[in-house]
């Protein structure tokens, strides 16, 4: 069965960077686009960007361009998201999601807290 | 960036039918339709339907989606207590080259 296992909670100071991971299993990793979506406390969902695992091509939401980098490792079926120049407003749960028409499978989420 | 518009809350009685709406434009909902997600507190979202009314395996037939112009709808029949939670719509926006979400609707089952 499809499983997306994300890395654990992160606490960072403003201005720092964070890199979180999402390890996929149960399907052909290179065949499906993978997205990152975040959710601030008590707020709605916000799309961060997508990576195409087969070639590594990425597309980022305009709000994150210049601050986000998505990568993948096909040897371990893992995708990564690095967000730099962190601000308090980046405090959120970050989810990875496998796309099959839409966001069909989700990771459990990684809480990133940005606080001085 | 511009998002989709959902009513913040909808209330319906047990075993009744609720219809949630999601309004976008011709670049998103009116183009490829919308996806609907259900999210319980403290859990990741769960996909209910995509491209208007394709249901992933295991999703109850009580959930059905449709679209009219730039507005997508999710209809939930025979409301159950476990249906009381948050619902989000989402669509690919071809002009923004980005996925956009609605702000979410909190469904209350009375």
Q: What per-residue confidence (pLDDT) applies to A100?
A: 87
Beta carbons of B50 and A104 less than 8 Å apart: yes
Q: How far is CA B94 from the centre of its chain?
A: 19
Whether B89 has its CB under 8 Å from any CB of chain A: the answer is: no
| A70 — pLDDT class (breaks 50, 70, 90) | very high
Whether B87 has its CB under 8 Å from any CB of chain A: the answer is: no
Portion of chain A with pLDDT greater than 90, in percent? 97
The mean-pLDDT minimum among A21-25, A98-102, B74-78, B84-88 falls in A98-102
CA B38 to chain A, closest CA, distance in angstroms equals 11
Q: What per-residue confidence (pLDDT) applies to B70?
A: 96
Mean pLDDT over residues A55-66, rounded? 94
Question: Is residue A98 predicted with pLDDT exceeding 60?
Answer: yes
Q: What per-residue confidence (pLDDT) applies to B12?
A: 96
Q: How many residues does chain B have?
A: 110
Q: What per-residue confidence (pLDDT) applies to B2?
A: 54
Q: What per-residue confidence (pLDDT) applies to A101?
A: 84
The H-or-E segment that residue B91 falls in is: strand B86-93
Q: Is B97 left (phi over 0), alpha (psi -120 to 50) or beta?
A: left
User: DSSP labels for chain A?
Assistant: --EEEE---EEE-TT--EEEEEEEESS-GGGS-EEEEEE-TT--EEEEEEEETTTTEEEE-GGGTTTEEEEEETTTTEEEEEE-S--GGG-EEEEEEEESSSEEEE---EEEEE--
Beta carbons of B45 and A47 less than 8 Å apart: no
Rounded Cα–Cα distance for residues A50 and B89 (Å): 18
Beta carbons of A45 and B104 less than 8 Å apart: yes
Q: What per-residue confidence (pLDDT) applies to A35?
A: 97
Which residues does chain B have with pLDDT short of 70?
1-2
Number of Cβ pairs < 8 A linking chain A and chain B: 54
């Amino acid at each position: 069965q499809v499983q997306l296992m994300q890395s654990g909670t992160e606490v960072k100071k403003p201005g720092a960077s964070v890199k979180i991971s999402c390890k996929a299993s149960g399907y052909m990793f290179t065949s499906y686009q993978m997205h990152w979506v975040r959710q601030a406390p008590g707020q709605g969902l916000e799309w961060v960007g997508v990576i195409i695992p087969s070639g590594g091509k990425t597309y980022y939401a305009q709000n994150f361009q210049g601050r986000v980098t998505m990568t993948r490792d096909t040897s371990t079926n893992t995708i990564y998201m690095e967000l730099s120049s962190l601000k308090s407003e980046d405090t959120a749960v970050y989810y990875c999601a496998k796309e099959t028409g839409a966001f069909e499978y989700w990771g459990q989420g990684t809480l990133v807290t940005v606080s001085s | 960036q511009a998002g989709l518009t959902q009513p913040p809350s909808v209330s319906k009685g047990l075993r009744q039918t609720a219809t949630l709406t999601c309004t976008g434009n011709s670049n998103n909902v009116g183009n490829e339709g919308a996806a609907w997600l259900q999210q319980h507190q403290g859990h990741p979202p769960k996909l209910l339907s995509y491209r208007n009314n394709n249901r992933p395996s295991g999703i109850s037939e009580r959930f059905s989606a449709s679209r009219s112009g730039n507005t997508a709808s999710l209809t939930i029949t025979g409301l159950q207590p476990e249906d009381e939670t948050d619902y989000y719509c989402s669509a690919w926006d071809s002009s923004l080259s980005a996925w956009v979400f609605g702000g979410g609707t909190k469904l209350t089952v009375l």
